[in-house]
Amino acid sequence: MKPALTALVALTAAPAFAHSGAHMHPHANDPSWLPFLIGGLVVAGAAGLAWTRSK
């Protein structure tokens, strides 16, 4: 049941449901989210590497 629920929850936040108009939180059309994505991936990778080496 959990995988089905997870898939349904993921679909509720799909970019296809994004509304149009000017607002403070841009969706995927503004490249300002790219540094946050790359930074998050770097932090997650470093944390994963540190975790695997500590075992």
Q: What is the pLDDT of residue 55?
A: 76
Assess whether pLDDT exceeds 80 at residue 16.
Answer: no
- pTM attached to this predicted model: 0.47
Q: What is the pLDDT of residue 30?
A: 66
Residue pLDDT, tens place only, 17-49 = 566 666 666 555 667 778 888 999 999 999 999
- How far is the C-alpha of 46 from the C-alpha of 48, rounded, in Å? 5
Query: What are the b/e assignments for 5-36, b being 16+ CB within 10 Å?
Result: eeeeeeeeeeeeeeeeeeeeeeeeeeeeeeee
Q: How far apart are the first and last CA of the chain?
A: 33
Q: What is the pLDDT of residue 12?
A: 67
Q: What is the pLDDT of residue 53?
A: 94
